[in-house]
Amino acid sequence: MRILAWHVHAAWMTSFVRGSHEYYVPVLPDRGPDGMGRAQTYPWPDAVRELTPEELRTADFDVVVLQRHHELELFQRWTGRALGRRGLPAVYVEHNTPRGDVNDWRHPLAARGDIPIVHVTQFNRTMWDNGIAPAEVIDHGVPDYGYQYTGTFGSLLVSVNEPVRRSRVAGTDLVAKIAEQVPVSVYGLGADELPALIHTGLRDTGAVSQEELHRRMARHFAYLHPYRWTSLGLSLIEAMTLGVPVLVVAATAAPEAIPAEAGVVSSDLDLLASTASRWLSDPAEARERGIAARAHALAHFGLPKFLDEWDRMLKEVCR
């Protein structure tokens, strides 16, 4: 198939474009949010091509994969064509949990029955009011980067972009509390802003490439996932795939996605911190948990399963 999709979430797209199709991503001169083009720090195959808005007007596609509501208007403005029942087949990937008051959790496509919504977790599908739109779930899928765990760094690792601006959503304040008891290293864009509000245990390490992040993930003795209100983070699944044991705040989809043998899922910060301290003194237990985490991630979030489910979905939409 010939698939048009905006580059919105690089990690998700890195898995999505590994299928057996032709992929087209819009590109703008400034490579801003609506035209980022190919990823610069993620390995994408040659089957992914960049197209300008002018080139999109004459290009042929079989299906459009939407990820933000305003992309419907962008597509119509750039191509002059409609989507859904009166135009090209389309599917909408909902990456995010709803925001605002619970009574306002109606999806932007809820009134349309011609563009299915694909949620990335069962939690998301349940929380959103999908209206008459067909709603399905395709779990995240990640490539197998191999077992890399060493656990030689004596600090927890957190991966989060803009940890100051997104403090409540990302749980940055929770990280600070845990860092009072156990050292924590934070990776991501904007991590350099942390010292203004963080206690002594927390070290900022900034943004690194995906490959380098994986190398460092595997060296830390455990991965900490502190998010309060977000879809299941791909970095969490990647850490598990690498063989890293995980400590997870029990929110959104995490309790359903992480088995007990892979680590600890709890809203009790003292329990998460004390478990981290125990793993520091008992690396054999940490390694055992990491091996279980890897087995679970490969079985439930493996790339073949993800791509097979997307092939099925795209065929149904185009039928």
The domain of 200 spans 153-301
Instruction: Give every CB contact of residue 16 below 8 A, 6+ residues apart in sequence.
Output: 5, 23, 65, 310
Do 276 and 310 have their domain in common?
Answer: no
Residue 147: inside a domain, yes or no?
no
Do 41 and 69 have their domain in common?
Answer: yes
Instruction: Please tell me the least confidently modeled range out of 205-214, 248-257, 266-275, 282-291.
Output: 205-214
Confidence of residue 207 (pLDDT cuts 50, 70, 90): low
Residue 199 has pLDDT above 50, yes or no: no
pTM of the model: 0.92
Residue 213 has pLDDT above 90, yes or no: no
| pLDDT tens, position by position, 46-56 | 999 999 999 99
Residue 124: inside a domain, yes or no?
yes
Residue 264: inside a domain, yes or no?
yes
Do 288 and 217 have their domain in common?
Answer: yes
pLDDT at 204: 59
| pLDDT tens, position by position, 245-278 | 999 999 999 999 999 999 999 999 999 999 999 9
Residue 203 has pLDDT above 80, yes or no: no
pLDDT at 211: 86
Do 137 and 9 have their domain in common?
Answer: yes
pLDDT at 209: 77
Are 10 and 42 in contact by the 8 Å Cβ rule? The answer is yes
Do 160 and 279 have their domain in common?
Answer: yes
Structure-token pair, residue 153: 């760094």
Do 309 and 267 have their domain in common?
Answer: no
Number of domains in the chain: 2
Do 122 and 66 have their domain in common?
Answer: yes
Structure-token pair, residue 58: 């004459």
Which domain CATH number covers 191? 3.40.50.2000
Bridge partners for 230 per DSSP: none
The 10 Å CB-count burial string (b at 16+, else e) for 32-68 is eebbbbbbeebebeeebebbebeebeeeebebbbbbb
Order the strands of the 184-187 sheet from edge to edge.
202-206, 184-187, 153-159, 220-225, 246-249, 263-266
Do 11 and 124 have their domain in common?
Answer: yes
| pLDDT tens, position by position, 81-138 | 999 998 999 999 999 999 999 999 999 999 999 999 999 999 999 999 999 999 999 9
Q: Rounded CA gap, 99 and 115, in Å?
A: 22
pLDDT at 210: 81
Do 22 and 122 have their domain in common?
Answer: yes
Do 160 and 252 have their domain in common?
Answer: yes
Do 220 and 282 have their domain in common?
Answer: yes
Mean pLDDT of the chain: 93
